A and B are shown apart, each in its own frame.
Chain A
Amino acid sequence: MAEVRLEGVTKRFGATVAVADLTLPVGDGEFVVLLGPTGAGKSTTLRLVAGLERADAGRVLIGGRDVTRAPPVERDVAFVFQQFALYPHLSVYDNLAFPLRAPARRTPADVVDRKVREVAALLRIESKLANRATQLSGGQMQRVAIGRALVRSPAVYLMDEPLSSLDAKLRAELRLELQRIQRDLGATILYVTHDQTEAMTMATRIGVMDRGRLVQLGTPRQIYEDPDDTYVATRLGQPAINLLPARLFEGTPMPRGTATVGARTEHLRITRATKGHAAGRVRWIEHLGDQNHLHIDVGAHKIVTLAEPDAGIDVGDPVDLALVGALWFDAAGARIRAGA
């Protein structure tokens, strides 16, 4: 296991800047998740660490060694692809054994066999070892892809949205499994996803990316509770944070220069308006069993928040809103951290 550092890395594809001056330290044994929408530059960053792309500027260091100019073979990294990238003409056993048989300095056959069976047992695919790589379900194929990375014990694991092609149930299972493996092995993992649940539950730190730039780097707690701007605030939270103009909450004390108020569910207190003029009206309720999503119209603005199913609020009800410890943003979207 080793630490990874990207220092001022830039990568251009023609006229498009995919990664702009990115500095990202990943500590030994850390699980860092790069979070962002499509086109944010997450996959490109991962490929730069792997050596599948060459950086135009900056340095990439793995275990303290400058590998910016080195090809993948010299970097001692393992990559789990989104499309699995299993060798279709080989069996599961041969797929897992390939990284050990491929290099010039071959591993002895009995060591190969032992490692393959260890990893297969760890990922619970021993019964499928004889199958062709294509004769598997999606979840099993992804386990083989992860296994192919594990079998090598590399310095760092790179995972490019490995769970995005799987259904929700499988994703939940493999999320737990990946966390367990990371804990047991103490592995350094750089993980790319656009799914906030994966980011929140698995990461020791999250790096939020936007159009090639690393916007904020912090623990999931920090990103959630203490975002640097509105973009980062909208990355985490289910339902997404409500961004409303400050003038809707004229009575509430807020720092000078606040233009936008960010209110998550925990910052909003919804009460049924019993008398007089109400702030908003419930337009729609989505029933999710354990909780309800309330869609509230406040003037021309829409709020989505959670409520208990037995809160006694129905569609069409007038409601009052109260803010409790919301987030304040200025006109440019940057966070104002001074006390109200």
Chain B
Amino acid sequence: MPRTLNTLAERAAAATPQAVARRVRGLSDRAVAWAFISPTIVLLLAINIFPLVWTIWLSFTNYRANRPNAPVRWIGGDWYTDILTNPDIWVAMQVTARFVIASIAIQTVLGFTLAWLIDRRFRGHGVWTTVILLPMMLSPAVVGNFWTFLYQPQIGLFNYMVSFVTGVPPSSFQMLGDVTLSPWAIVIVDTWMWTPYVMLICVAGLRSIPEHIYEAAEIDRASAWRRFWSITLPMALPFIMLAVLFRGIENFKMFDMVNLLTGGGPGSTTEVASITLKREAFEKWRTGYSSAFAIILFVTVFGLANIYVKALNRVKQR
């Protein structure tokens, strides 16, 4: 049919009420498409792109947000060299790395184990899946709040449960105030909250393995352990790696839980990179400095994620 889209649009425009028609008539399909997506693009630019570009610019200046009227001077890469040679920053990165590695390791093992158990499809597994998912549904602020109560040495449930199991007196240790225990306090809360997430992704991975592969292995006289090691794990590996990627990026940036539970303390023992960033930006008001640090963190995550995704794609090639 020799009808162009423009003609269709014009006919549709001709059929609309007078007032609307006057505005709409003559608008090409392309113009209408732009009209639909422009609010989203404006929002994206305003909230994502503009702040990023602005931060990059700020990182090369000496701007301080609490002195808006002071003269703004371009100082080039001074902040960057400052940060990369500052030993305190490296300590913060180490704390972050240790936290990320510990929490990811525990969550992955626990998450996969739970996923494997759920995949046995025992009676009532649907109910149990929902129960396990509940921690993930809660708001981090709420979680941080009530875990602070749970961690109270005298009245908190956590110390009580530990003493119930190990016999150590409940007031003898303090999760949130102690130098060695505080990082583990955060790891525990993060694991409690996000293991269900890893579990979900692993369940998807396990369900993707067709039943007849297991049957073939059974016929080939592979033991249950052998089937798990040679079939289940390798075939679920891409999904496990994906879960690790998501959790890794999230935990690298983690701010809310740490801030709520320990605020970075005691001292700097739980001062992860995001806490340092917050302190520099909103306590010391060194806006230019913290902008540079934010950019460095962004590039680090981006770079590491890129390397990881390449490895993931190679695994998925099979």
Measured CB to CB, the residues of A under 8 A from B are: 50-52, 71-73, 77-79, 81, 83, 85-89, 98-99, 102-104, 132, 134, 148, 152
Contacts and interface: CB of A to CB of B under 8 A. Distances in A.
Contact of B219 (A79, A86, A132, A134): A79
A78 B212 CA distance: 14
Interface string B66-91: 00000000000000000000000000
7 pairs of A and B residues whose beta carbons are closest in the complex: A102-B222, A85-B216, A99-B220, A103-B221, A85-B212, A89-B318, A73-B221
Contacts of B219: 50-52, 72, 77-79
Given A52-B215, A85-B216, A87-B213, A102 B221 contact: yes
Contacts of A50: 219
B226 interface: yes
Nearest to A50: B219
B220 A98 contact: yes
Contacts of B215: 52, 79, 81, 85
Interface in B197-254: 210, 212-213, 215-223, 226, 230-231, 234-235
Interface string B290-318: 00000000000000000000000000011
Contact of B218 (A73, A87, A134, A152): A73
Contacts of B318: 88-89, 132, 134
A174 B317 CA distance: 29
Specify the main secondary structure of chain A where it touches its partner.
Answer: loop
20 contacts: A51-B219, A52-B215, A72-B219, A81-B215, A85-B210, A85-B216, A86-B216, A87-B230, A88-B213, A88-B235, A89-B234, A89-B318, A98-B217, A98-B220, A98-B230, A99-B220, A102-B226, A103-B221, A134-B318, A148-B216
Interface of B: 210, 212-213, 215-223, 226, 230-231, 234-235, 317-318
Contact of A87 (B221, B223, B231, B317): B231
Nearest to B216: A85
Contacts of A72: 218-219, 221
A50 B219 CA distance: 8
B74 to A, nearest CB: 54
Contacts of A88: 213, 235, 318
A132 B318 CA distance: 7
B213 to A, nearest CB: 6
Contacts of B230: 87, 98, 102
B216 A79 contact: yes
Contacts of A152: 220
Nearest to A102: B222
A81 B221 contact: no
Nearest to B211: A85
A88 B222 CA distance: 16
B243 to A, nearest CB: 18
A88 B216 CA distance: 12
Given A50-B219, A78-B219, A85-B210, 10 more contacts: A51-B218, A51-B219, A72-B218, A73-B221, A79-B216, A83-B210, A99-B221, A103-B221, A103-B222, A134-B318
A102 B212 contact: no
A326 to B, nearest CB: 44
B209 to A, nearest CB: 9
A85 B218 CA distance: 12
A52 B218 contact: yes
